Amino acid sequence: MQVEKNVVISEFIVNMEDVLYHRDNTDVNIAEKVAEQTASLAHYGVAHYVLTNATNQQDSDNLHIVQTDLFEHYPKLTLYFYRILMAFDFLQAHPEIEKAALTDAGDVKMLNYPFDAVEDGILYMGDETIFIYDTSILIGYDGPQFIKDFIWENGHLPILNLGIMVGTRETLIEYLGIMVKLITEAELSLAQGNDEAFLGTYKMAISNYVAYYYFKDRLVHGNQVSTIFHGEQMVSGAWFKHK
């Protein structure tokens, strides 16, 4: 399969518990679930690739649904972590991609074309209006000590939201690759009986840790990338609307 050079990639995992939103993800018509984002991308001539473990899904116009088998040897992973693995594998498999946006499937909409402004080496991410110390998922985080230390030392930083992430293919592979390495090491340690290696249920801690720790001097977030989180802004200079 040949992929366009500038694309938007989402993931939609089915038949796995959604431990945050508790949405039913069985017997899903994925094209309907992602229709708003797909239509917004079509306005700018951008292809939408949705990676999924579902079968019997139909492509339409600029929507390409890519069936992907999940790596089943990580029994502790939730669907949020599987999305990281799926995106990483897809980017690795398609060197023809030059720039990409990785987005949540159902609540993101493109407002302005982003790829002409994307610079080499810069990681662009969506964010939220609250800070790390205001976030119960992070304050109550019960994972490895090095991430706990990061959370408590950086409580003043805005929460980055992995629902919108933009960059060159190389930058995104670098960012996702660090998380994949941490996930792989944690799962191996868990298999060896070290329960303290568990990275948690949600990807918020690891995604903020990697972005701020490894990309602090080449990280862009805020109004250029995304609208005010949950702001329902329909007119904005941001690339994407998120909720």
Q: Which CATH number characterizes residue 97's domain?
A: 3.90.550.10
50 forms beta bridges with 10, 65
Q: How many domains does the chain have?
A: 1
Per-residue pLDDT of the chain (243 residues; tens, 9 = 90+): 899 999 999 999 999 877 766 677 888 999 999 999 999 999 999 999 999 999 989 999 999 999 999 887 787 788 999 999 999 999 999 999 999 999 999 999 999 999 999 999 999 999 999 999 998 889 889 889 999 999 999 999 999 999 999 999 999 999 999 999 999 999 999 999 998 899 988 899 999 999 999 999 999 999 999 999 988 888 889 999 998
- Rounded distance between C-alpha atoms, residue 142 and residue 68, angstroms: 30
Q: What is the H or E stretch that residue 184 is in?
A: helix 169-191
The answer to whether residue 119 sits within a structural domain is: yes
CA of 69: how far to CAs of 39, 55, 101, 164, 186, in Å? 27, 10, 22, 23, 21
Q: What pTM, to 2 d.p., does this model score?
A: 0.95
The answer to whether residue 210 sits within a structural domain is: yes
The answer to whether residue 1 sits within a structural domain is: no
Range of the domain at 82: 6-242
